[in-house]
Amino acid sequence: MLVSAKDMLVKAKAGHYGIGHFNINNLEWTKAILLTAQENNSPAILGVSEGAGKYMCGFKTVADMVKAMVDSLEITVPIALHLDHGSYDGAKACIAAGFSSVMFDGSSLPIDENIEKTKELVDICHSKGISIEAEVGAIGGEEDGVVGMGECADPDECKKIADLGVDMLAAGIGNIHGVYPENWQGLNFEVLDAIQQQTGDMPLVLHGGTGIPEDMVKKAIDLGVSKINVNTECQLVFAAATREYIEAGKDRQGKGFDPRKLLLPGTEAIKVKVKEKMELFGSIDKA
């Protein structure tokens, strides 16, 4: 069922496990994640960037597709449909389109403007039972053309934003989007611990989950991270499985060119990756 992300994250924080946020790009992606969540009795968050929303013909198309799929696949585990790195206007559009959760990323704004816009969106979201994520301290790497520097968030600023009543808080702790460079310094657990001490029960969000070593992910969950964003990793396994299918010449055998066959190995690869993440985060059987 489609729900706000609030309850699943509060439970995860209390139970010291994490919930996977998996970005979706099309029908196959969505189906793979929903089925894997159901098969493993795990809650899950479907993330949609503004770019992916445009690609899928708008947020309403996405919301209607996800709702219909949850219904027709008889998905009973909690699923949140969440805007990833939303602008102020994007967040409002997703609220109108029927998303159950949004992220307002005001991290590039001056802190006072970030606070003002976050506060306004918190009130709108909560009047409609929608959960909201805010961000402090830009998260590095590139996402939809926005490049950050991988800075660490200021714990005092985190407290200011957390106190606005957001349901989850993304804070930079040295994590970046995309594939990590070889000279990456790792997560800054001192900063994470300081943020956690300032923000108490607030579920924290770890962006850029691809390529962070498993022991670091587990330690981050121990220190208060309840939502882990996974995007690039699913793209990589989808591409690799599709490449393997074509390089083996399977698209030229019989009706192997049928898109329902051509896209199947990639879809199955996403399912395997999502299950692996649910095991790592500890969300299996927590629905």
Q: Which residues are catalytic?
A: 84
Specify burial of residue 249 (Cβ count, 10 A radius: 0-12, 13-18, 19+). Answer: exposed
Q: Residue 117: which residues within 8 A CB-CB, separation 6 or more?
A: 88, 104, 106, 109
Q: Give the Cα separation of 270 and 239 in Å (integer).
A: 10
Number of chain residues interacting with Zn ion (CB under 5 A)? 1
Q: How far is the CB of 131 from Zn ion (least distance, A)?
A: 16
Binding pattern to Zn ion, positions 193-212, x when CB under 5 A?
Answer: --------------x-----
Closest CA to 28 of 269, 279, 275: 269
Give least dist CB 141 to Zn ion, A: 8
What is d(CA 49, CA 242) in angstroms, rounded to the nearest whole number? 23
Q: Which residue is nearest to Zn ion (CB)?
A: 207
Q: What is the number of other CB atoms lying within 10 angstroms of the CB of residue 39?
A: 14
Whole-number minimum distance, CB 92 to Zn ion, in Å?
Answer: 20
Interacting positions 110-149 with Zn ion (CB under 5 A): none
Identity of residue 30: T
Helix (H/G/I), strand (E/B), else coil: 160: helix
- Smallest gap, in angstroms, from Cβ of residue 70 to Zn ion? 24
Token pair recorded at residue 189: 């657990």
CA–CA distance, 263 with 246 (Å, rounded to integer): 10
Question: Under rule CB under 5 A, which residues in 23-62 are in contact with Zn ion?
Answer: none
With b for 16 or more beta-carbon neighbours within 10 A and e for fewer, the 163-172 pattern comes to ebebbbbbbb
| Distance in Å, CB of 49 to Zn ion, minimum | 8
Rounded CA-CA distance 45/126 in Å is: 18
Tell me which residues touch Zn ion (CB under 5 A): 207
